[in-house]
Amino acid sequence: MRASTRDRVATVISEIGGPSPLLLVGLLEVGLPTGAVLPTLISVFTMAVAPYGATIWLARAGKVDGRFVADRSQRMPILLATLVVVIAGAVAVVLLQAPSSLVRLSVAAVAALMIVMVITLRWKISIHATIAAFFAGLQVALFGPIGLIAMLIPLLVVWARYRLRAHTAGQLIAGLALGAALALSYALLG
């Protein structure tokens, strides 16, 4: 592949394997089989749709440097606003007495955001890698050994983010480690 073709492929992988699309799929996988439609839809909106939509709007309005907010200094206000919305969604899930699997996923989203925010004060961890690793671990927790196929997702996402020079190898590895730890916590608490 030519360099520009590789960059286009990496951009597509970054979009499809981004935090919001992966969280959307994970939330639907966890919530809908339980019959908890309203809590699932609230989770999807607060944890995936609203943050992604807001970031796209901010990027188009020129308020941030792009959908993926590469400039670390621009990330904190977005992460803070996202945390407020995600906490509101998590509280709604609890108040609606959603199944424990959806509550655990909501708690994992809040924990992930808080950890990423602390790290972002000093360093730029890869949120893409974090969520991709968490998503892959979630697939294993939900589907057993067949879910191991999803391990390709974080590998592709890491390649894409590195290819686009969005992160250093260290930032990507740290994101993978955080996501794996969160997925393990989710599985062990289940």
Residue 60's CB is within 10 A of a number of other CB atoms, namely: 11
Burial string for 115-142 (b: 16+ CB within 10 Å, else e) reads: ebeebbeeebbbbbbbbbbbbbbbbbbb
- Please, are residues 141 and 32 in contact by the beta-carbon 8 Å criterion? no
pLDDT digits (tens, 9 = 90+) for 35-80: 999 999 999 999 999 999 999 999 999 998 888 888 888 989 999 9
pLDDT digits (tens, 9 = 90+) for 7-41: 999 999 999 999 999 999 999 999 999 999 999 99
pTM of the model: 0.93
- Please, are residues 27 and 66 in contact by the beta-carbon 8 Å criterion? no
Q: How far apart are CA 116 and CA 112, in angstroms?
A: 6
